[in-house]
Structures are given as structure tokens and as C-alpha cells.
Structure 1
Amino acid sequence: MPAASNNTPGNTANDASPRSVAQDFATVFALLKPQMTRLDAFLREQMTGFEPEIRPMAEYCIDTSGKRIRPALVFLGGWTGDAEDAPQELIRAAAVVELVHLATLVHDDIMDGAELRRNRRTAAREYGAEAAVLLGDALLAHAVHIAAQFPTTEVCAEVSNATRRVCAGEIIQTMRRGTLEITLEDYQRIIDLKTAELFRVSCYLGGRLAGHPLPYCLAAAEFGRRLGVAYQIYDDLADFFGDEKRIGKTLGTDLASGKITLPLIELFKRLSSDADRAALTDEILKRAAPRPDLRIQQMNTLGVFEAVSDAIHAELRAAEAVLAPHATLPPAPLLLRLRGVLHDQVMTLKKDS
């Protein structure tokens, strides 16, 4: 984990064990419990806006919500010291980003052929891929509908722009599946769009709607972007090293679908023989059946886990640095402590490997 700044209050990630980091993360989320309760109630109210025929499908997606990190970033980005008195605008903004996120998950699971999400059948498996595509579209449309009800056009503009960028990232990645035409720069561009963008806009909108100074809001946005990049790299690492029951979703889909992520980029770079590289190429191009056990063994032997883990921590250090000038504002210490979940999860992956 990156070194902590000595003058950053509430930051215990410097020398904390995985257990204490997990407790720290739980403490932060405990502070958000009133806001999360209001968010859940607001999302339930939104279900009445869906046509009766598809309302159970929308409710199914709401019920498979996970850690709700993006709404948490809205609340933390706009933290003023009292979750009980958080303005309703923060609740609505959190609902917007959560609905956008849920829509992208529905679409992701279709493209990945995933069976599980949050230890339940994915919407695609429950209702069929064709209906799930349209369900994702309906969730996106309702998110924009909520965003359009803010008195300022900034929320709708930010959310619609972010949604387009998320879709662009997914399109680019989809077009590169089953090919070797992806560089490290391409990979970084894809995850910046498809994952980091929603983290960015969550932190930014939280700060803006809470009335925090613009320089802080811009710094919080960059913090969110860096955190989002780190989170996606972690997710790609977990696809190889994670425990499916613990994580709660189908794993091993990246190699099987020909999706090149940082673990595969690093592995390909480290394979020393032409035969090994040719074999991996055949798997990516779907000319041969994927051999995930062999690839994980090679990743362990060749130091891929450590290299990818280092990339995660580099992003977390950059996230910390951008917030340093705003450390005295109420949200900054809590946002910095939120990084602990990634440290915790990476350490758990290492133990599982």
C-alpha cells in the first residue's frame, strides 16, 4: 500500500494489516448508513416509473446491487460532516450513477456470457440476452430522466457525457476482443473510459452538489478517476486469481472471451519461448481452448501478480497525491480511507493465489 501522508487525518493505510484496513473501510461505510438507507428507499420509489410488465426485471437488477461504491463516492465526495442531514440532491445523484452502473453490468454480463452476478443469476440468464439488452437501455434511460430533473443542467450534462464515455470504452474493448491488437496504452484508455469515468463523475457531482469549492471538486474528480483505474485493474487481476464464491460473480471470462487485460499483457511480455507465446496467442484468438490453470501458474511463476499489484498501488498513490492540497476539507480524509478496500482485496487475492 502507498505510504501515507503524516498530516492526513484518518489515513491508516500506511502500516495497517488487511484486517485493520477492512475495519477502517467498514467504519467509513457505517458513517454512510443513513444515506445508503435513503438511497435504497429512493431507488425503490423509482421502480414505479417503470412499466408494470418490466418492473420485476428492474427490481431484480436493484436487488443484485453490490457494494455500491459509486454512490458511496457521491456521498463521500460531498461529505460535510453529517450523513443524517445530507441534501436530497446527493441521494438523487447517487441513484443516477448507480442506475447507469447497473445498466452497464447488465450489458457486460451479456458480452461476457457470465452466469453469476452477486451470487445470483445474471439478468441475461434470468430473462434472456435479448430482453436484458433492452433492460439495460431502460435503466440508462431512467438514470438520465432523474438527472434531467435537477434545476441545473450540469448534472444531466455530466452524467450523459460520462455514460457516452463508458459506452465508448466498452465498444473499443469489444472491437478488440479476440485480437492481439491492443497495447498497454490501449488498455489504459479502455479502463479509463469504461470504469474510471463513473468513479470520476461520482466524486465530482458529490462535491458540486454539496457546495464545495471548485478546485476541490476537480481534485476529487481526479481522485475518483485514479481510484477507478485501480479498481478495474484489481477486477482484471481477480478474474484470474479470485475466488468465485467469495467475489460473487463468474470469473475466468477474460481469457475465454479473448479480452486482453493487464495480467495477460504482462504474462505475454514475460513468456520467454516462442512456443509459449504462440500457445497463448491461440487461446486469445480462440484457435485453442483456454487453459486458465496453466496461465495462472505461469503468472505466479513469472511475477505477473506482483507487477499488476504494483500498478494498482501506483494509481492509489497518485490518487492520494491529488487530494493532498485539500486534506483539511471534510471529505478528503474519508475518500483517502476508502482506498483501503482495494488494499484489502488485493491482499486477499494474494492469499488465495
Structure 2
Amino acid sequence: MNRALPVEPLADPVPTASSFAAVFARLKPHMAALDAFLREQVAAFEPEIREMADYCIDTSGKRIRPALVFLSGWQGEGEVPAELVRAAAVVELVHLATLVHDDIMDEAELRRSRETAARKFGPVTAVLLGDALFAQALSLAAQFPTTEVCAHVSESTRRVCAGEIVQTMRRRSARISREDYWRIIDLKTAELFRVSCFLGARLSGAPAAHVQASAEFGRHLGIAYQIYDDLVDFFGDESRIGKTLGTDFASGKLTLPLLVLIESLAADERAALLAEINGQRPVQMARRLEQMQELRVFEKVAAEVQAEIEAAERALAPWPQAAATPLLGGLCGVLRAQVAGLRHS
């Protein structure tokens, strides 16, 4: 993948512990409105599954996709447009549905420091529960005055599902290139970031060129975030992250940390690792983490996160006067801080 030269970041590049809180403090009224709106959606589900839907529509997540809607469509301090709240709810419901399905495929037991829906209700029920969340998201999208929102959300949902399907079909296979990996995360993660920024800017009435720049920002930020999340699976602290770690490797999912490790190993160790990925021998997590440390895998993968963050910042560089630009740039600072914190966790 081509990498352009870095530019000056839009936000302070020095990560701080308060980065996340500082950016999201401005969104308190937006998130409060979103939480209230999402809780209202529970009543839309059939009585038999309302408790299950309510369990999935919790308020403990980072809500980064709704934040992208609100920040891309920023209209001033304390201004919380109803159309942005609805759009944020749509993308959050799509995201929650994908998490339910992800946890089934990964056989994960924890999500946000509690049992996954698959663990609590059983995988068969959880599959259908995820489908119900998808359906409610599209129902909300269809309630906008035009069909544009529903059309974009439907297309993005299809692309997200396609990315998950491709990744699932490639499990236990070592025949995945870096280009394949980027394609998968572009679909399964970056697409929802992209459409979140697109919808926020579009619904706020931004010029068409700015809407496209916002969407491009979201895409690159989404790729960066997914690479970060793949780092978390190896270098995170389960008690701090609040979800089951190590599931990617255990399920034969070839992510960038493993791709970098494969490229760095000697032939005999590379063959052993490929056998673990293929399911031909037990996963040696401790050994692979030791090798990742020795071969500076974290640093190499973190550099890829940085490259995508810089690409996101370049997308908005022509729009310094837009109210959303410094706010979205703040999210880049948040992600930088999260990567740095992960390294020292």
C-alpha cells in the first residue's frame, strides 16, 4: 500500500492520559441524548427479546462511531441535532450487531467486562439477536426524510458483513498478504467509521467536497483503529481492556502483528507458527509474545497505525476552517495516546 509523506498533525501529538476524556467531555450532552434514544429503541423489539436487546444496548462502550457522527456534524457547543442523534444510533446498532456476531465466531466470553451475548444467551440465539439489531438499525435509517441515509447505511452494512465473511473464510489460512489484510479491515471496520463521518458531515449541510474529505478521514482512522485493536489482542491487559484477549490467534485469524512476526522469523520458527495458525499444533502464545518482543513487532505495527493516522489528518488538512476539523483531529490524538498506553501497560 502506498504511504505518503507525513504532515503536521492536526492535534497535539504528545499523548496524555486525559486525551480521551478531553475529547469526549464535549460530547456529554450528545452521548446522553444518544443513550436515551437507544434505550427508547428497546420497546421496538418484541416483548420476548426486549431483555436481550437491552443487554446488548449497554452504555459502557467507547461509542467512537457515534462520536464520529457528532464531531463530523458539529454545530456548536451544546447543539445536539435530532438527526445526528438518530444517525449515531443507527451506526451504533450496526456496530453492536457486528460485535454480537464477532463474539460468536471468536468464542469470546467477555465483552466490556461482562459476559458476551453468545455466552449469556447461547450462540444460536445470539446470531438471531445480532440480526434483530441490524434490522432495527435499518428501520431507523429508513425514517429519515430521504432514502439517502438508508441507502448508505445499507451499503455499509453489506460491506461490513462482506469483510467479516472474507476474514472467516480465511481463518486457519496463512495465505494472506498484507494487501489482503488491509482489504479485510477496510471492509469490516473502516467502512463503518467512514459512513459515520460521511453521515455527520452530510446531515450538517457541509459542502460535498468536505463531506468526502470527512469520509476519507473516517476510513483512515478506522483502519488505524483496527490495527490498534489487533495489537490489543496480543499486548493488552484483559482486566483493563474488559474483553477476552488472544482470540484472534487462537481462532486462526491472521492479523498484522502475526503477519509481521511471520516476516521476521527464521524458516523453522516460521513453519512452526504457520502450523499453529493452521490449527495443526497448539498455539504457543507465550512463545510468540516473547518473539514479538525480541523482534520489535509492536513498534513495527504501531508505525502502521501512525501512518494511517497521518493519512486521516491529511484528508482534512484542506479544511482547517471547518468547526469539525480540530475536533476530529483530537480523535487522532486519542488513538495515539491509546497506542502509547498499550505499549506501557
User: What TM-score do the two structures reach when normalised by structure 2?
Assistant: 0.96
1:158 aligns with 2:152: yes
Q: Does 1:326 align with 2:319?
A: yes
- Contact 1:178-1:257 within 8 A present in 2 as well: yes
- Written as runs of structure 1 = structure 2, the 5 A alignment for 1:72-111 is 72-82=67-77, 84-111=78-105
Structure 2 unpaired stretches of 5+: 1-5
CA–CA distance in structure 1, aligned partners of residues 329 and 70 of structure 2: 14
Find the counterpart in structure 1 of residue 36 from structure 2: 41
1:62 partnered with 2:61:
no
State the Cα distance separating 1:350 from its structure 2 match.
1.1
Equivalent residue for 1:255?
249
* Mapped contact 1:103–1:137 kept (Cα < 8 A): yes
Aligned to 2:223: 229
Equivalent residue, structure 2, for 1:12: 12
2:132 maps to which residue?
A: 138
- Report the Cα offset of residue 24 of structure 1: 3.4
Match of 1:276 among 255, 269, 274: 269
How far did 1:128 drift? 0.1
2:3 aligned residue: none
CA shift at 1:4, angstroms? 3.3
Aligned counterpart, 2:25: 30
Q: Distance in 2 between matches of 1:277 and 1:12?
A: 39
Q: Deviations 1:138-197 (Å, cap 9, x if unpaired)? A: 000000000000001110001000000000000000000001121100000000000000
What is the aligned-residue identity percentage? 64
1:50 and 2:50 correspond: no
Asked if 1 retains the 8 angstrom alpha-carbon contact of 2:35 and 2:59, the reply is no
2:305 partner amino acid = I
- CA distance in 2 between partners of 1:309 and 1:56 (Å): 40
- Rounded to whole Å, the distance in 2 between the matches of 1:35 and 1:346 is 26
- Residue 230 of structure 1 contacts residue 315 of structure 1 at CA under 8 Å; is this kept in 2? yes
For the 8 Å contact 1:64–1:118, the answer to whether it is kept is no
Q: Deviations over 1:287-339 (max 9, x none)?
A: 11101111111011112111100000000011111100011110000000111
C-alpha distance in 2 between matches for 1:173 and 1:161: 18
1:293 aligns with 2:286: yes
Q: Give unmatched runs, 5+ long, in structure 1.
A: none
Aligned residues of 1:155 and 1:205 also touching (Cα < 8 A): yes
CA drift of 1:214 comes to 1.2
Mapped partners of 1:3, 1:304: distance in 2:
24
**1:107 Cα shift?**
0.1
Which residue in the other structure is 2:171 paired with? Answer: 177
Q: Which amino acid aligns with 2:207?
A: P
- Provide the TM-score with structure 1 as the length reference: 0.94
1:200 equivalent to 2:194? Answer: yes
Query: Is the contact between residue 168 and residue 193 of structure 1 (CA under 8 Å) also seen in structure 2?
Result: yes
SS in 2 for 1:329: coil
Aligned-residue offset at 1:86: 2.3
Partner of 2:106: 112
Aligned to 1:191, the other structure's residue is in SS state helix
CA distance in 1 between counterparts of 2:60 and 2:149 reads 23
Spell out, residue by residue over 1:101-129, the C-alpha distance to the aligned partner (whole angstroms, 9 max, x if none). Answer: 00000000000000000000000000000
Q: In 1, Cα distance between the equivalents of 2:334 and 2:124?
A: 35
Provide the alpha-carbon RMSD of the alignment.
1.1
Report if the CA contact (8 A) 1:258-1:284 is conserved. Answer: yes
Deviation at 1:64, TM superposition (A): 5.9
Amino acid across the alignment from 1:278:
A
Q: Which letter does structure 2 place at the counterpart of 1:101?
A: H
The equivalent of 1:341 in structure 2 is 334
- CA–CA separation in structure 2 for the residues paired with 1:34 and 1:103: 25
